Amino acid sequence: MRALFSYGLAFAILLLAGGWLATGTLVQGGQGAGNGEKPIIAVIEGEEHGPIATTLGNAGLLAEHHQPEVDPTKTIAQRNEETTGANAPLQSVRVERFTAQAMPLQVPLRGRTQAKATVTAVAETAGTVDTVHVTKGQRVNVGDALCTLDQGTRAAAVAQAEAALAQAQLAFDTNADLRNRGLAAVNTATAAEVALAQAKAGLDNAKAELDRTEITAKVAGLVQDPLAVAGSMLAAGAPCATIVQLNPIVFTGMVPEAHIGLARTGLEATIKTVTGQTVEGTVSYISAVADNATRSFPAEIEIPNEDFAIRDGVTAEATVNLGTAPGHLLPQSVLTLDDEGVLGVRTVEDGKVAFHPVTIVSDTREGVWVTGLPAVADVITVGQENVTSGQAVQASPATEAAETTAS
């Protein structure tokens, strides 16, 4: 009983499927456009409108077939020409007009900060360090005392030289008085003058030697190692303290040879350090000789550093301002490549597409600055990847498209 039920159900499904297929359409290709298509039920009945087909059509179960309006006198090539040839609808693109502006010319440099000078204050005479007046990291100005050497014997030498000078002066005055009264020969004046001059020179030498015991700063800056220790013995030329000159401080970098023709001293520059400091400076030096390894030219930018906030050896990036030149500020999305891989921009000129190779000068948050475009250019902003040079297009302003979308 169960088997009969299963066979019966399968037979019913088969009948329903056959009936559904009979209401469809048979398509036989190779007979031209609009030919070779007829209802399946017409094939079964052997005629176009048989009784079964009429019944199914009245019941709304027969698929309707509408033959396209095709001119049978035209070939396939002629019909393709109507849809893709000169008579075909023009490709639609969106354009935006860009006008040349004053483009800032800037050269980025990578480098680091560097002290303008590192000066070692040395002893000009030998002696024991009596007092060290500074500590490491202390800020000093020109003339500030750094170290004092033992002055014992040198102070005594000054006193002795002063006494010798006083004696020589007295002898010179006495000789002059005797000569004026005719009591001394005229030729004795030379000996008195020589003795007086020697006494003065001796006093000057003694004072100079005493002054050498005071070691002072010749430049302003920060005290660094090496620093002498009180009680140590310094020979002539031995360091008392090292001073790092930080005002002004210098940014050192390398100018690529491609930009060396534009570089010159006196240009303004902006320096940003990795520590977040941004300062202004001026190009103070450009080497006339390129580095053998990199073929770039060493350059220096002098930066005011009154508060010593910028330290020596900090990684930084400088942007040197070279002036301005005509250029276009474009959105990066309009840049494209031609068939040969050349970077450029597609524009519409007299209703046709034109391709202009461009050079990117700088990339900013507002867009990319490029050169190579006409002074006024209608740049394709939408659809530039779907057209080629010389193709006629239907161009509409991008602003109108935006207004239509908004409305």
For 264-322, the DSSP string reads -TT-EEEEEETTS-EEEEEEEEE-SS--TTT--EEEEEEE--TT--SPTT-EEEEEEEE
Give ranges for CATH 2.40.420.20 in the chain. 91-103+326-406
| Comma-separated ranges of CATH 1.10.287 domains in the chain | 151-212
The predicted structure's pLDDT at residue 36: 56
Query: Which H or E run contains 199?
Result: helix 188-211
The helix (H) or strand (E) run that includes residue 116 is strand 101-122
Cβ atoms of 95 and 398 closer than 8 Å = yes
Q: Which of these CATH numbers, 2.30.30, 1.25.40, 1.10.1220, 1.10.287, describes 151-212?
A: 1.10.287
Nearest alpha carbon to residue 296 among 252, 256, 251: 256
pLDDT at 343: 93
Q: What is the pLDDT of residue 23?
A: 57
pLDDT at 381: 92
Residue-level pLDDT at 404: 37
For 186, the 3-state DSSP assignment is coil
HSE, CB side, 13 Å, CA atoms: give it for residue 178. Answer: 14
Chain centroid to Cα 298, Å, comes to 17
Residue-level pLDDT at 70: 56
The parts of the chain modelled with pLDDT lower than 70 are: 1-88, 399-407
The CATH code for residues 91-103+326-406 is: 2.40.420.20
How far is 122 from 147, CA to CA, in rounded Å? Answer: 10
Residue 45: beta bridge partners? none
pLDDT attached to residue 254 = 93
Using a cut of 0.85, tell me whether the model's pTM lies above it.
no
Q: What does 203-260 look like in DSSP terms, one character per residue? A: HHHHHHHHHTTEEE-SS-EEEES----TT-EE-TT-EEEEEEEEEEEEEEEEE-TTTT
